[in-house]
Each structure stands twice: as structure tokens, then as C-alpha cells.
């Protein structure tokens, strides 16, 4: 399938513009609470910007993210159902994305948990005479393994996720004098500045691994615990040269998240 990278990108020396945040993972924990619960999370989600795909040296980044997920548990007849949303990206290019899924703990000891999640959103923004509009829809399979026995104070977890995101986007950006790679427009008012318009779509997979420390879980009160996670992700991102889609390229990025959970007593 054809692919697209859109937006402005790194200039050779003068700085950069970032547009089109694409996180590699939802950062949602696969561990169910199994009672009515709201999980609020602040994260630097590993991923990339669409604008990075038009530069000579594309790289992954950590993307600002604020999310909330509600697990109704016994309030509905669907065990493990979760619904929520997240805000992704910097000021001026922030996307609101709904998330829905199901997560389950396996076995009597609940050591392993699995989750299936779906997400999708539309985003558009312009900056420094560059612009993009993009729609993406995807799914994620996540797993979480508790290293030791359950405790009320601290637990070590290892987590992983596989995601695939369908992306359809269009945009406009300036290029270097050879018309190959994107750059910041040298003079937005100059009609002679070389620029390109592009439109395409594609499916992009990603994988994420993480280590998480859970604290004060399995308690009877309304505070259900906290989770601090360190993440590393890699995947396949779009690649465009001279306004034309070429083969995609690999990227890698680090991230982190802090979650707090609140809800019903046991």
C-alpha cells in the first residue's frame, strides 16, 4: 500500500517543526482492576511525528500524552470492558483519541493479563507554512506478566504490546533546494520556495516492551494504586522523498508513564 509522511521537518541548521504525532502504543495497562475503576495517566509515549518521515534522518520521539480509562467491571455484563480517551501531542497539534477494549487476568494467581484495544482519531494542524490532515485507526494486543506474587505494596511487572495502525493523510511542506527532503520554509512569503503536496495511506506496525512498578494495589479503599512504567518501542514508519512515497523505514523510541487508579471499594 502507498504511504505518506506530511508536514514540516528538520531544517539543516535552523531548527525544526514537528507535526502529526503518531504514538506506537496506547500505554494502557493490560491488568484489569475487576471493580469499577478510573485510571488516569500522564505519559511520554514512544512514537514518531509524520513530519519526521520526510527528513534525511528520520527518528522516533517521546510524545506528550494524557489519558483516562474507565473499567465499569460489575456495573456491566462484559467482564474486563474498558473505555477511555487520550490527548496526544503538543499545544497546537493535539489529538483527542477514544480507546475501547477488553482486558482479562488469567489463572487463579492472575499472574498473566491480556488486553485487546481499538483506537482511532483524526488530526490536522499547520505551523511554519506546513500543514497536514490525517486519519488513523488501529488495534493493539497487550500482555502483562507479574514477576512475583501479589502484594499490597509493590509489584514488578514486565509488559509488551503489538499494534497496527492504518493511516490516511495529506499535507504540504517545503523542501530543500534539490526538492528531496523536507525543511522549514526559509521565507513563508516567498512563492519561489520549493514545496510539495502529498497524499497516501498505509498500515504501520509497532512493538513495545516495558518494565513497570506497581504500588499499593489490591487495597480495599478508593485508591487502587499507582504504576510507573519505562517503555521502549520500535516500528515501521512512512518515508517520503521529493514528495513521492518510497519504502517505509524503521524507528525506535523510549517513553515512560505514570498512572493513578481510583474507584469503588472491594
**Residue ranges of domains in the chain:** 21-263
Question: Could you please report the per-residue DSSP string of 26-43?
Answer: ----S---SSSEEEEEEE
pLDDT digits (tens, 9 = 90+) for 141-196: 999 999 988 888 899 999 999 999 999 988 888 877 777 787 777 766 566 668 88
* Short-list 91, 86, 78, 107, CA closest to 39: 86
Integer Cα distance of 174 and 71 in angstroms: 45
**pTM of the full structure:** 0.89
C-alpha cell at 161: 504490546
Domain 21-263 in CATH 2.40.128? The answer is: yes
Q: Are strands 130-146 and 154-175 parallel, antiparallel or unpaired?
A: antiparallel
Using the structure block, give the residue that is written with the C-alpha cell 513563508: 188
Radius of gyration, CA atoms only, the chain: 20
Q: Taking 50 as the threshold, does the pLDDT of residue 16 lie above it?
A: no
Q: When comparing pLDDT for 138 and 148, which is higher?
A: 138
pLDDT digits (tens, 9 = 90+) for 49-95: 998 888 888 899 999 999 999 999 999 999 999 999 999 999 999 99
* Short-list 185, 171, 142, CA closest to 238: 171
Amino acid at each position: 500500500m502507498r504511504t505518506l509522511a506530511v508536514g514540516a521537518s528538520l531544517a539543516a541548521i535552523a531548527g525544526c517543526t514537528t507535526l502529526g504525532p503518531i504514538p506506537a502504543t496506547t500505554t494502557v495497562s493490560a491488568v484489569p482492576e475487576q471493580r469499577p475503576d478510573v485510571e488516569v495517566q500522564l505519559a511520554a509515549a514512544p512514537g514518531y511525528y509524520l513530519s519526521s518521515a520526510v527528513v534525511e534522518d528520520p527518528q522516533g520521539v517521546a510524545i506528550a500524552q494524557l489519558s483516562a480509562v474507565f473499567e465499569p467491571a460489575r456495573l456491566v455484563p462484559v467482564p474486563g470492558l474498558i473505555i477511555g480517551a487520550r490527548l496526544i501531542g503538543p499545544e497546537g497539534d493535539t489529538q483527542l483519541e477514544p480507546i475501547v477494549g477488553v482486558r482479562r487476568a488469567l489463572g487463579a494467581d492472575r499472574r498473566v493479563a491480556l488486553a485487546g484495544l481499538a483506537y482511532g482519531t483524526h488530526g490536522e494542524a499547520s505551523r511554519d507554512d506546513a500543514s497536514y490532515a490525517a486519519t488513523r485507526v488501529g488495534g493493539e494486543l497487550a500482555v502483562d506478566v507479574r514477576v512475583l506474587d501479589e502484594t499490597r505494596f509493590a509489584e514488578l511487572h514486565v509488559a509488551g504490546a503489538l499494534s497496527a495502525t492504518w493511516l490516511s493523510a495529506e499535507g504540504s511542506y517545503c523542501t530543500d533546494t534539490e526538492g528531496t527532503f523536507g525543511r522549514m520554509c526559509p521565507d513563508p512569503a516567498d512563492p519561489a520556495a520549493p514545496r510539495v503536496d502529498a497524499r497516501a495511506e498505509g498500515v504501520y506496525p509497532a512493538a513495545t516492551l516495558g518494565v513497570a512498578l506497581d504500588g499499593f494495589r489490591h487495597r480495599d479503599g478508593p485508591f487502587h494504586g499507582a504504576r510507573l512504567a519505562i517503555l521502549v518501542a520500535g516500528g515501521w514508519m512512512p518515508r517520503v522523498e521529493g514528495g513521492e512515497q518510497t519504502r517505509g523505514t524503521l524507528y525506535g523510541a523510549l517513553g515512560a508513564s505514570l498512572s493513578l487508579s481510583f474507584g469503588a471499594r472491594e
